[in-house]
Structure 1
Amino acid sequence: MQPFDINAGAQYKASTTLPIQLNNTYNNSICPITLNVHTDGAPLVRTTKSALWPCLASIVELPPQVREKQANILVLCLWTSCIKPDVNIFMNDCIQQLLELSVPSSLIVNNLQFSITVKTQLFVSDLPAKALFWKTINYNGYNACSNCFTEGVYQNRQVLYPYNKNSYRQRTHVEFLATAQEVDNRISSGRKGSSIDGIKGTSPLLQIFEYPKQIILDYMHLCCLGHMSTLIHRWLTMLNTGALAEINSNLVSQRFPHNISVNFNYPLNSCSDWKAKHFRIFLLSIGLPYMLVHLPPIVVSHFALYSMFVKLLHCPKSYNEIDLADKIIHYYCRTAPHIYGETIELFSLHSHLHLPQQVLTHGGLCFTSAFCFESSIRYLKKKAHGTRNLGTQIADWINIETIVTRPPFELSKSTGVNSININNRIFDKYRNDFLNILRTFIQNENDIVLFLRFKDVFVTYHTVLYDLPFSCCSYIISYKSTDSSIKYGQVIIFLKYHDGYYAYIQEYKATEKNISDYVSVPAELKSKLDEIFPLRSLSKSYTFVPIVNICHKCIQVKFHDCVFLSEVRVDYEHD
């Protein structure tokens, strides 16, 4: 389990007390099935206005590497029409079934009987879909925030949410429900006024979700496609032709681990054509090093805060990182209008203030995003052909897939892959140093087996030798040294000695400067910034590292005669 996966969040921990109580009541072991629910719309046929609105779900109890696989995404209900769905009609049957399943029932799998109960963990969508399904005003309204009572201010023909006018009084489920019912009464009596505090009516989803605790913000839309895109468009006016050409050249030649399927076919000045995954990798790993010498110092320093904020919440390593992220985003939002002007203070920026608490409640942003669901929507669209009965076609294919028996999923064991002989010519460059260091550990070199790759259940690591003919770069890693500090290196080869696996690594060494020397950030943030984006150079020293000490793969960005490194904390996040 990841340290801040969904089941480590406060919401899931609190909900697990119910199965314990039910166990005592029914004198049986209750297996909870907890659902992350998502919905969004997508055009179905280009020649018509028909759109597909699926309501999808993933199962929290599955490991995140398995949870987001297409085969494990559940389709709860479908809507295909030229008009947007009426949530009361669309979700009614689904909600009733979920309510029935919340009571313990029996399920037989492979002749084994289980007592299960189904509950909901969270509801995730983009802002327009959230407003539609929860019957609230849209993100450009005056009371758009689902978490607090901050009210927007109309300035220059748009609604802004100035930081200095934030209201930190939190919304509650009881208040929301009472207000929604009051709006319904007002509408039924024919009185004027279609909304109160941004609420336009009672959503049937309130029967299975607690508002606003279980209604989360999706960082894919909010941070990647939203704020990051906004920043880049503002930067384009600050970059000259030479700077753009250099950045675009670096983007094209940038190498990533083999499992990160990102190619920057469109330049920075055509970022409107980027997908969410391009903005994600730019924001988390490569954007700050690229922009370091091209943007004005105050602008790049401000962006360093945002990149650090998202990186910390994406997959936090500790509660201290979440607390630090909370301080960073308040500083970032408070200073944003001084950098970009008041027009930057849109509702999307205000929403970032609620992300740290969301991570405490539901886990890291990478575990609760809509990436896998958006991919599933594209997958569902491919099931429809022609222009007639599209919804029926999709539903029929889904039913057929549920009938077909699939082989059980089995976890692979950690093992070396692609063994080579120690005298292989591709190892010539490293053989002498390797043998000299090896003899200090073991007596007989015949007791070892060399491998070009290593598969650690869900994560596959490459070596420098394996990636030579490829454009990927899956051999740069972070690892724990003997003194428990984090160090970095390039894996030259993997070896097996008896029952243990080791990596033969060329080490990176620290440089005289850090990234904090190039930006101006508060003093208390410098050490964390240097930790997230370490500046290193490749040394000529080698060492052996036990496989269990390897932490993450890393992405490197060249900077003068050194490189910036960035850990890929989640190796399996969906594209």
Structure 2
Amino acid sequence: KPDVNIFLEESVKELKYLMKNGTSLFINEHEFNIILLTQYFISDLPAKALFCNTINFNGYYACSCCRTKGEWNETYKVVLYPYNGNDYTERTHNGYLKAAQEALKKSSGGRKVTVDGIKGLSALLEIFSYPSQIVFDYMHLVCLGHVPTLIKRWCKIINKQNVQDIDEQLKQIRLPHNMKVNYLDSITAVDQWKAKNSRLFVLYVGVPICVSHLPPLYASHFVIYSMVIKLLHAPATDDEIDFANHLIHYYCKAAPLVYDPSIELFSLHAHLHLPTQTTVHHGLAFTSAFSFESCIRHIKKKVHGTKHLASQIAYWTDIEYINKTTEFEIPSSTAVNEIQLNHASIDPYRPILMNLITIENQKHNDIIFYKRYKDKFITYHTLLYDEPFNCVSYIISFKSDLGVEYGNIILFYKYHDDYFIFVQKYQATNKKMSQFVTIPSEMHQKLDELYALLMLTSNFTIIPINSIRHKCIAVPFQDIFCLSEIRVDFEHD
């Protein structure tokens, strides 16, 4: 392989200049001075090793965060990272530099020596701090890595009927309109899944499906993993990160007992450092390669043929912005798709709706009804709007005096300058997800909170628009539903 520093040299040089001197942008005849700072470097594990000039993920001392060495396993012919052999001594930037310099001194001719897994100096480390800014990408680590690994192991355990049942349930799931995810391939062909399929599975739909179809031991173990990723994906509090840290240690420690030691690859060990990474850089949803992959897909549209790709991209980007005449404006929050109260689709709900409006002391003649509501970049639908379609963008969680509740949006309406929602409520049942798995009792409350088992009622209410928490995904579970909140509604596909 060529020396990656040759590839990085010019880019790093220019970035260092911008970090020191900044640059200017002119917008509407106003000059803005911009100083550049780096946030993090993100890649999959092979690229991470290449650009940081460290040992690959299948070697010794592969971890960029700690000094765990790893062990050669003669049975599986691979370097494993057993949980009980972890060395949590933290790596430091200065430690990296010393090890890199020592590796260079010991290397001679074509023979390269590694010191603590480090092969030499990387130009990348002139603008990034090691290891705090060299992060793990959950798109590759989780969605394209560990989730498919687990599913392939399950397929060896469950029977053909279970596989068919899981496949069918995945195909039947109805999602919000902005989630373009289809399960076209069976779980037996999980390697054909896209990253967004695995993301949807681990965050929202995998728990009720696994609890329904996997043996209890494997379902219980996966439930813990799903909780970890969901909490770290978009943590609401620091306590959730701390709890996820406790969970991932439990999960990794139990993994070789649930499966076998071959599961303790470095990719599993790397999960142990995700909570610390989340503390520094916030949720995994905001530090993943999903957005970069979307950007690449967009940029590729500017390229024709196979020659002078960078020049083509630069040229058409310039043309696009030279000819751009409209300024981008952040959309305001507003309701759309007005509907008349006497519309036939409202017939089943009209008496209840009118009664609730009266209770709210609102005048019917001053109300305008709508089928959709756009809250800046997030669009909510009503059940009436989604009925002709396969999407479900009307299930929400909302705040009330009782805490967090769930409901189906039937209608939006505007009264004077305020917006309200006419909601059909879900209610808790005597079933809880924690009753169907065997996990430590201290995990029960959070599991039941993240994956609530509810039934749709005939009770309706009116809530103010600012009561909305999140959209939700509902998965049929026995004779009820498992609802899970979508904490980040604008993550790239």
Q: TM-score range by the shorter chain?
A: over 0.9
The one of 231, 248, 264 equivalent to 2:167 is 248
Instruction: Summarize the alignment of residues 300-319 of structure 1 with structure 2, pairs less than 5 Å apart.
Output: 300-319=219-238
Supply the distance in 2 between the matched residues of 1:165 and 1:443 (Cα, whole angstroms). Answer: 66
The one of 422, 430, 448 equivalent to 2:367 is 448
The one-letter code matched in structure 1 to 2:249 is H
The one of 51, 56, 60 equivalent to 1:133 is 51
The one-letter code matched in structure 1 to 2:316 is W
Instruction: Summarize the alignment of residues 119-518 of structure 1 with structure 2, pairs less than 5 Å apart.
Output: 119-155=37-73, 156-187=76-107, 189-190=108-109, 192-401=111-320, 403-405=322-324, 407-483=326-402, 485-518=403-436
CA shift at 1:399, angstroms? Answer: 4.5
Supply the distance in 1 between the matched residues of 2:33 and 2:352 (Cα, whole angstroms). Answer: 59
Supply the distance in 2 between the matched residues of 1:379 and 1:564 (Cα, whole angstroms). Answer: 35
CA shift at 1:249, angstroms? Answer: 1.2
Distance 1:297 1:422, change over 3 A: same
More moved, 431-440 vs 340-349: 431-440
CA contact (8 A) 1:104 1:115 kept: no
CA shift at 1:191, angstroms? Answer: 8.8
Instruction: Name the SS of the counterpart of 1:120 in structure 2.
Output: coil
CA shift at 1:466, angstroms? Answer: 0.3
Q: Deviations over 1:87-124 (max 9, x none)?
A: 22222111111111112445233221222211101000
CA shift at 1:381, angstroms? Answer: 3.6
Uncovered stretches (5+) of structure 2, i.e. residues with no partner: none
The one-letter code matched in structure 2 to 1:289 is P
Supply the distance in 2 between the matched residues of 1:201 and 1:406 (Cα, whole angstroms). Answer: 49
CA shift at 1:390, angstroms? Answer: 3.9
Supply the distance in 2 between the matched residues of 1:404 and 1:497 (Cα, whole angstroms). Answer: 41
Match of 1:12 in 2: none
CA contact (8 A) 1:494 1:504 kept: yes
Instruction: Name the SS of the counterpart of 1:567 in structure 2.
Output: strand
CA contact (8 A) 2:367 2:415 kept: yes
Uncovered stretches (5+) of structure 1, i.e. residues with no partner: 1-83
User: How does the TM-score come out when normalised to structure 2?
Assistant: 0.96
Match of 2:8 in 1: 91
Match of 1:74 in 2: none
Supply the distance in 2 between the matched residues of 1:234 and 1:146 (Cα, whole angstroms). Answer: 28
The one-letter code matched in structure 2 to 1:98 is L
Residue 17 of structure 2 corresponds to residue 100 of structure 1? yes
The one-letter code matched in structure 2 to 1:506 is Q
Amino-acid identity (%):
50
The one-letter code matched in structure 1 to 2:85 is K
CA contact (8 A) 2:411 2:423 kept: yes
Instruction: Name the SS of the counterpart of 1:554 in structure 2.
Output: strand
Residue 34 of structure 2 corresponds to residue 116 of structure 1? yes
More moved, 269-278 vs 405-414: 405-414
Match of 1:66 in 2: none
Structure 1: 4+ residue segments shifted above 6 A: none
CA shift at 1:443, angstroms? Answer: 4.7
CA shift at 1:179, angstroms? Answer: 1.1
CA shift at 1:402, angstroms? Answer: 5.1
Q: Deviations over 1:418-454 (max 9, x none)?
A: 0111000010111111111111112521111110001
Supply the distance in 2 between the matched residues of 1:399 and 1:444 (Cα, whole angstroms). Answer: 54
CA-atom RMSD in angstroms: 1.5
The one-letter code matched in structure 2 to 1:94 is S
CA shift at 1:277, angstroms? Answer: 0.2
Q: Deviations over 1:65-100 (max 9, x none)?
A: xxxxxxxxxxxxxxxxxxx66422222111111111
CA contact (8 A) 2:474 2:483 kept: yes
Question: Number of matched residues?
Answer: 490
CA shift at 1:239, angstroms? Answer: 1.7
The one-letter code matched in structure 1 to 2:61 is N
Instruction: Name the SS of the counterpart of 1:408 in structure 2.
Output: coil
CA contact (8 A) 1:506 1:542 kept: yes
The one-letter code matched in structure 2 to 1:202 is L
Supply the distance in 2 between the matched residues of 1:433 and 1:196 (Cα, whole angstroms). Answer: 73
User: How does the TM-score come out when normalised to structure 1?
Assistant: 0.83
CA shift at 1:223, angstroms? Answer: 0.7
Match of 1:567 in 2: 485
CA contact (8 A) 1:487 1:508 kept: yes
CA contact (8 A) 2:244 2:275 kept: yes
CA contact (8 A) 1:451 1:495 kept: yes
Match of 1:30 in 2: none
Supply the distance in 1 between the matched residues of 2:322 and 2:8 (Cα, whole angstroms). Answer: 24
Distance 1:88 1:106, change over 3 A: closer
